[in-house]
Amino acid sequence: MSCADLVPATGTVHWIGAGLSTGSGLTDLCERAARVRVWHRTADRAAEALDRLGLAGRAEPRTYTLDALTAELAPGDVVVSMLPAPEHAPLLAACVARRAHFACSSYVSDAVLERVPAAEEAGVVVLTEAGLDPGIDHLFAHDLVARARDAVGADKAASYRLTSYCGGVPAVPNDFRYRFSWAPLGVLNALRSPARYIEDGTETVADRPWEATRGHVVDGETFEVYPNRDSVPFVEQYGLPAAWRPRTFVRGTLRLDGWLTAWAPVFEELKAGDDTRIAALARELAATYPTTDADRDRVVLAVSLTVDDGEGDNSAAWSGSYLLDLVGDERESAMARCVSRTLALGVRHVLAGDLPPGLNRAAETAARSAGWLGELAAEGLEFTLKVDG
């Protein structure tokens, strides 16, 4: 389907959910979009969120139900989902039926993927993985791979090591070595999911990801990192040359040094507990370690790529790394800033008609990655690039 079939954007944005990850990205859209409606559990809760962000009177608060939203959707509107990932597919189905565009910061689920062909036929953009992780991590990786390809040559035999670690942690370390920046049950269930990655040139699976935790030094500071989800498909997604052999390829989670010890009782529960017990544990952890307005979070995202000649025996031909290290303030958390600003940037490109119908991740190409990184930097999102070779 050609870009001529794209449904023109109306300029109206529907922001669904105003929880922990809603930050200044919503402010940006209130300044740039023709109309913004914020949908939350109740209209009063939506109004409270707008007031907290200094946006009272600049967006229309709404009580969210799928039926209520669908009734207000017009062709070319943009729906931004901040809802849990399982709720994306029915929301996308409503968007396709109304020929409205869809955007979220989550990974592409199978349920969402099933609806992409219908979205493409309807001229609807489906923007995904446009947050922090996934999102900015993809931008960093695509840009590093492009730089390495230019420096080393895509047809030259080589080996490489790519690591991408991201974490939200307390700005002031606590005994628990963690601060919940998303639902505790989601954190626990992620730890219960096996992780697949490449280590020493071999695909490896960690049934309990935390058991693969190791030390990792970032800018002189020691953290603990472990793999999560399935890293292997991103070898192709990031455009790594077929002539290069992966020695290490892992996308994972970053935690403060000491996290593995502090969480030992939690891991014992994860090994023994069923779904009911884990759900109860999530509630207990939320009550024991609440997030308060006085807390300050810190986001650390470290992506590095090293390309070696031949077998990679101390013969690095090129290396590069990106580092994002931000602390939240009284206006918004670092997590909310990173997720919402990146998502808002993607929505602006949907509004501008820059993305084609069908599935779009934040970083489909190196050129888009470089462009979006430039835009994020110009808007004050701070990160650093180091290149050697």
Q: Copy the structure tokens of residue 82.
A: 């901040």
Displacement of CA 301 from its chain's centroid (Å) = 11
Q: Is the dihedral angle over the CA atoms 372, 374, 376, 379 positive or is it negative?
A: negative
Give the C-alpha distances (Å, rounded to integers) separating 105 from 93, 109, 211, 283, 284: 17, 12, 28, 25, 27
Active site residue 133: yes
Give the 3-state secondary structure percentages of the chain, helix then strand then coil, rounded to 5: 40, 30, 35
- Please tell me which residue in 28, 77, 133, 143 is annotated as part of the active site: 133
Nearest CA-CA partner of 183 in 347, 344, 345, 335: 335
Q: Does residue 80 contact residue 12 with C-beta atoms inside 8 Å?
A: no
* Total Cβ atoms within 10 A of residue 211: 12
- Residue 342 to residue 61: CA distance in whole angstroms: 23
Catalytic residue list: 133
